Structure 1
Amino acid sequence: MIARLQALSAESRATFWRSLQTLNATRVVIALVLLVYLSFDSRGLRASGQYLYLQICLVYLGLAIGFALSAVYLQRRFVLQLLPQIAIDLVFISLLYLAGGGMRSGLAILYLFPLAGLAILAPLMLSLFCASLVALFILGDTTWQIFLSESEHDVMQAGLYGAAFLAAVLVVNRMAAKLIGQEELAIRRGVEVNVQQAVNRLVMANIVDGILVVDPDGQVFAGNPAAQQMLGLVGPELRFKLSAAAALVPLAQAYHAWRIDPARSTVFLTIKPFNDAALEDVTAAWSARRNLAAHLKVRFAAADTHGLGAERSVIFLQDVTGIENQAQQLKLASMGRLTASIAHEVRNPLSAIGHATALLGEDLGDPVHQRLLKIVGDNVTRVNRMVEDILQLSRKAQSHIEPLALDVFLAELRAEFIETHSLAPEIVSLIVAPDTQVRFDALHLREVVLNLLNNAVRYASGGRHSIRLDVVHDTAQRLELHVQDDGPGISPEVRAHLFEPFYTTSSKGTGLGLYLARELCLNNEARLDYEYRFDNEDSADGSPALSGRFVITFAWPGQK
């Protein structure tokens, strides 16, 4: 029995002590009930047998109180406390049984109290042994009464009592053993759950990717520190709706679109968490972070909560800005070593090839020869354009950032672009407030916007306002130039490499246009990025349709 207790957990051993305390409290109550019963029997109190009954009850009450105190204040040696208590219970109940007149007193039912307690707290064999002793004692006393010419009907009653005690001990012991086993299992499972939760908290706290747990309505329930940092939520309580935060509206729209169409499980978003102008005078950290934006790869996944009555989804956030920069740096490292060679070793032979092709075109009149010469000439032009783009990388640092009237600049550039591409005026729309000033090198901005417009005209439908130039203010009152067309949005796979040098999806492109555009913006203390949007008006059923736009965020007018 001692080994059995030692094999149990501390929580289960504490349960045994609580059960013993309950048994002791019950013992005190039974002793008091017996005394109260005796006090109402005033005639019996004069008899010698009833006087013995009173003495036994008083001694039993005193012992019960002592046992109860020892179980509370001396929680040591459980077995040495339990077994003497049960033995004394059986002895005193037997004395009361005899003093009350045996089977006719009805006190045999009191044996059930210590036997049931023993069945709960002791092994089965010891409990059955004690129950057998009680049954033999009752049968022996009943048999002795028969020899004294008492009624023989008490034998049957004594036998039923003995059988009932054995059956009760067996049932109670098995039920108690099962409950103890279930409690041990629950304790072990609880420890495993707590360990798993501790591991999960450690992983959540140290993983570099952000994790948000949300419900179908976009209510955030949990998030790790990485997600808080990416979304600018360091400090606030993570109990809010995604749509309630202005900076997180793109994330809320993407989540809503995924709920409608689970195929949109991965998107790329630009989040501007530190654009709350109200914080400008509150914290010094705001001025250092106000121009930051998080370019995130967002993936949605539904948690398996079937049958639990609560639906949860997990949003995984990965800041891909560093990955993009690292990929660009790797390409730039190799490109830098080739720039000088391209300028001298490629450009001069390229000019010779182009000149020779032109001379051959004058002498060869066969259509097949002319077609082959045209292929050579087109590829010479393409390679020469790539050389020019690469050479611009060394010239991009020579910027002259000056105040620029953006409204006049864009109006002139729009007119020139329409004329160059022979477009109808209503195809390209321009919305800009008068007297809008920005700080940007005019030549650099011209190159950036023309690059974006050339990409737009390639994919736009050619309808009215199919290409849009919009100058707006963000929530931090910074100027943004949006360049958008009505063509299909850029896929997330292409978006992951959009600004990498030499990456292109066009057979005629060099893969340097958008990279140079972004570098020129950075050189002018501005930022160029591609933002996804979800426009309901673009879909027939009213569900969010994926589209996108290029956004140039200009430097603050007073920023140096």
Structure 2
Amino acid sequence: MAIRLKPTDLVVHGNRLLRLYSYYSLFLALLLLISNTLDKQNAIIGGTDPTVFLIGCTIYVVAAAAFAVVANRQPDPQIAISYVFAEIALLSALMFASGGLASGFSSLILIPVAIANLLAPGVLGFGVAAWTTLAIFYTQNYWMEGKMTHDLINSGLYGLLCFVIASITQTLSKRLKSALSLATDQETRLRRLHHFSRQALLNLPNGIIACDKNDEILFFNNKAMEWFDLIEGENLPDLLYDSGENSIIESGSDKLLLKRVPLNDSEPGDYLIYVENTEIISQEAQHVKLAALGRLTASIAHEIRNPLSALRQAAQLLSEAPELQESEKQLTQIIEQQCMRINRTIEDVLSLSRRSQSTAETLRLSPWLQHFAKQLQQITQTDHYKLSILCPDDIQVRFDPGQLQQILHNLCTNGLRYAVKAAGERARLAMIATISDVNSIYLDIIDNGNGVAPEQRPHLFEPFYTTEHSGTGLGLYLCRELCEANHARIQYYPIPNGTCFRIIMKSA
């Protein structure tokens, strides 16, 4: 049965070996033809039969040129092995024309034998060695009519040498193929790991910048690009270059913590810069504290609520006693108000610890805000303010409706309280929705109160921070947590003669 080779039968990088061998073969054929042309007397080569040598060299050049073209355009192992068989026959004929094994052509014949066994699988490689042995026997003992015993012995030894070379070459070929296959697998694995690592670094929530000893940027991720103007191959910006090993800098409205970490296993002087948002660090610390507080509150809520209920009920009963004076009744009211404040604080902390997973829905914002405004007017039960809504009809957002109602109720009741306190019957409250870009919607809640003092603004969203004696300090913090649960943000925007809180939501 004929053996059919496939490109996968070649050793790894066999195509390159074929091309190099085709160049060698063409060079050898041209060299032999030129030498025969210059050697007019055939003193060096072709002395036995100049005609056979000239014809053989000419055929060799044409065949080598054709093989070089094929090997460079589309290497085919079947054509390559066929060419090796033909080349061995041509070199055997040239050896005969130059005087036989003693002419030196025997060494040239061994090269195609080795190349064939590098390229071909076992049986076919040994077939090339057998073909070479037959060619040598024929040219030495039949074509040249050699009858001497030493001619047969030399031919036999040469044939044995061909099989030894074939065996050694195939052993080396298998080891080379195994080593190259392993190297290729390792290269593919490392390339995949590099791709995975790069993607992981690009999407990290913190910024990463890699630099060399000359402060040239080698790599940076998406978060670092948001904060700084970075270009690979350029030097670090002055803001980063002048910063210390562990320092805090400002980029826009963010305060960033920088950490320089040397890379000991890399090139000398290479280092990484880790960039973290200090606000996120403080938020994570607050989450841990509130989670612990929530668990503690949940465990003691029952023990606190029972005494609170008893205190409040006792204060109410005491206030109804006819013999109490007005100043004493005010004291009972204070007791009742403080009991209500403690209970409200417990409820807020429990709501943080029990907060359910948000379920975002597509909301048509304009009718939803109109419905919310009616509910707000029923809850507030006062006509001493004006509520206005400006929202295009085509705006749709993705948000949990229950959590959005909780956020707006908190913001609107707070804003309304301060507006009434500052403007009385001229209190104003507005909800204005605008389209920022393709994917973002701004919802501004604006009142005409006295605004927020500059020294209080950095602490607005901190838990338990309040300027009201009756407040818990958890309202705005809870608003921010609910916004983040819906992939939204809430920010305070200072405006003249009032207060503005902006919710940045995703468009549906």
What TM-score do you get using the length of structure 2 for normalisation?
0.51
Contact (CA 8 Å) 1:135, 1:165: kept in 2 or not?
A: yes
Tell me what 1:429 maps to. Answer: none
For residue 179 of structure 1, report the CA deviation from its aligned partner: 3.4
For residue 311 of structure 1, report the CA deviation from its aligned partner: 4.7
For residues 310-364 of structure 1, what are the alpha-carbon distances to aligned partners after superposition, in whole Å with 9 as ceiling and x for unaligned? 7544626356299589979999xx9xxxxxxxxx9989978999xxxxxxxxxxx
Tell me what 2:348 maps to. Answer: none
Q: Does 1:500 align with 2:500?
A: no
Q: Does 1:237 align with 2:231?
A: yes
- Equivalent residue for 1:273, pick from 248, 251, 263: 251
Contact (CA 8 Å) 2:201, 2:208: kept in 1 or not?
A: no
Tell me what 1:39 maps to. Answer: 37
* Unaligned stretches of 5+ residues in structure 2: 298-308, 319-334, 346-412, 424-448, 478-491, 500-508
Q: Using the alignment, how far apart are the partners of 1:306 and 1:511 within structure 2?
A: 58
Q: Name the structure, 1 or 2, with higher relative contact order (CA <8 Å, separation 6+).
A: 1
Q: Using the alignment, how far apart are the partners of 1:511 and 1:3 within structure 2?
A: 88
- Equivalent residue for 1:320, pick from 276, 280, 288: 280
Q: Using the alignment, how far apart are the partners of 2:195 and 2:126 within structure 1?
A: 45
Tell me what 1:294 maps to. Answer: 254
Contact (CA 8 Å) 2:117, 2:170: kept in 1 or not?
A: yes
Q: Using the alignment, how far apart are the partners of 1:511 and 1:132 within structure 2?
A: 103
Letter in 1 for 2:175: K
SS at match of 1:66: helix
CA 1:515–1:62 in structure 2 vs 1: closer, same or farther (change >3 Å)? same
Q: Does 1:105 align with 2:65?
A: no
CA 1:556–1:208 in structure 2 vs 1: closer, same or farther (change >3 Å)? farther
Contact (CA 8 Å) 1:53, 1:100: kept in 2 or not?
A: yes
Tell me what 2:93 maps to. Answer: 95
SS at match of 2:21: helix
* Unaligned stretches of 5+ residues in structure 1: 258-268, 275-292, 335-343, 354-379, 402-440, 450-479, 482-494, 504-509, 520-552
Contact (CA 8 Å) 2:10, 2:119: kept in 1 or not?
A: no
- Equivalent residue for 1:169, pick from 156, 166, 170: 166
Contact (CA 8 Å) 2:67, 2:83: kept in 1 or not?
A: yes
User: RMSD over aligned Cα, in angstroms?
Assistant: 5.9
What TM-score do you get using the length of structure 1 for normalisation?
0.47
Contact (CA 8 Å) 2:212, 2:270: kept in 1 or not?
A: yes
The equivalences for 1:71-220 within 5 A come to: 71-73=71-73, 75=74, 78-135=76-133, 137-138=135-136, 152=150, 157-158=154-155, 160-205=157-202, 207=203, 209-215=205-211, 220=217
Q: Does 1:58 align with 2:58?
A: yes
Contact (CA 8 Å) 2:89, 2:135: kept in 1 or not?
A: no
CA 1:350–1:305 in structure 2 vs 1: closer, same or farther (change >3 Å)? farther
For residue 212 of structure 1, report the CA deviation from its aligned partner: 0.5
Q: Which moved more, 1:106-115 or 1:15-24?
A: 15-24
Contact (CA 8 Å) 2:19, 2:72: kept in 1 or not?
A: yes
For residue 56 of structure 1, report the CA deviation from its aligned partner: 1.6
For residue 108 of structure 1, report the CA deviation from its aligned partner: 1.3
CA 1:302–1:5 in structure 2 vs 1: closer, same or farther (change >3 Å)? farther
Letter in 2 for 1:256: N
For residue 39 of structure 1, report the CA deviation from its aligned partner: 2.8
CA 1:155–1:557 in structure 2 vs 1: closer, same or farther (change >3 Å)? farther
Q: Using the alignment, how far apart are the partners of 1:200 and 1:170 within structure 2?
A: 44
Q: Using the alignment, how far apart are the partners of 1:69 and 1:208 within structure 2?
A: 51
Q: Using the alignment, how far apart are the partners of 2:192 and 2:471 within structure 1?
A: 52
CA 1:325–1:100 in structure 2 vs 1: closer, same or farther (change >3 Å)? closer
Letter in 1 for 2:56: I
Contact (CA 8 Å) 2:211, 2:272: kept in 1 or not?
A: yes
Q: Using the alignment, how far apart are the partners of 1:242 and 1:48 within structure 2?
A: 77
